[in-house]
């Protein structure tokens, strides 16, 4: 799934200057929602996630796509990041998770 997302949908990452390996990234789901935002532990606190979300938001908007994401309620760091960047919560979209129980 992740390889497919990287191959077929917009993505953005920050590479380590020395190793040229990704240290932070954001991907786009087939639904156009931003997701899988992640920064390696040793590189946190540098504003990389903020830069990635800002860059990806501008890119999606410029191409005419909706700019949105889904954040789990307990993910307070992501919620804070996105609200600080001007995103607002849409109460129409409340997620429900269902687990499969074999019959």
56 occurs within a structural domain: yes
Position 102 scores a pLDDT of: 65
Query: Residue 91 domain-assigned?
Result: no
Contact call for residues 85 and 50 (beta carbons, < 8 A): yes
pLDDT in tens, 9-19: 999 999 999 99
Amino acid 103: pLDDT:
60
pLDDT at 95 exceeding the cut of 80:
no
Report helix, strand and coil shares of the chain as percent, to nearest 5.
35, 20, 50
Whether 44 maps to a domain, the answer reads yes
> Would you say 27 and 13 are in contact if contact means Cβ atoms under 8 Å apart?
no
Containing 55, the helix (H) or strand (E) segment is helix 48-62
Query: 3-class DSSP state for residue 54?
Result: helix
Report yes or no on 30 lying in a domain.
yes
Q: Is residue 50 part of a domain?
A: yes
Looking at the 3D structure of the chain, how many domains does it have? Answer: 1
For residue 35, tell me if it sits in a domain: yes
- What CATH number is attached to the domain comprising 42? 3.40.630.30
pLDDT tens digit sequence for 8-66: 999 999 999 999 999 999 999 999 999 999 999 999 999 999 999 999 999 999 999 99
pLDDT of residue 96: 66
Q: Which domain holds residue 55?
A: 2-84
For residue 100, is it within any domain? no
Q: 5: part of which helix (H) or strand (E)?
A: helix 2-8
The reported pLDDT for the residue numbered 82 is 96
Instruction: Please tell me the pTM assigned to this model.
Output: 0.84
> What integer pLDDT is reported at residue 8 of this predicted model?
94
């Amino acid at each position: 799934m992740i390889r497919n997302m990287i191959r077929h949908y917009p993505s953005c990452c920050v590479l380590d200057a020395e190793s040229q390996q990704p240290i932070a990234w954001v991907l786009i789901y087939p639904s156009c929602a931003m997701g899988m935002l992640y920064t390696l532990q040793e590189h946190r606190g540098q504003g990389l996630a903020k830069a990635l979300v800002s860059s990806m938001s501008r890119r999606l908007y410029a191409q005419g796509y909706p700019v949105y994401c889904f954040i789990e309620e307990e993910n307070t760091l992501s919620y804070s990041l996105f609200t600080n960047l001007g995103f607002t919560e849409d109460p129409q979209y409340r997620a429900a998770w269902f687990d499969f129980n074999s019959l």
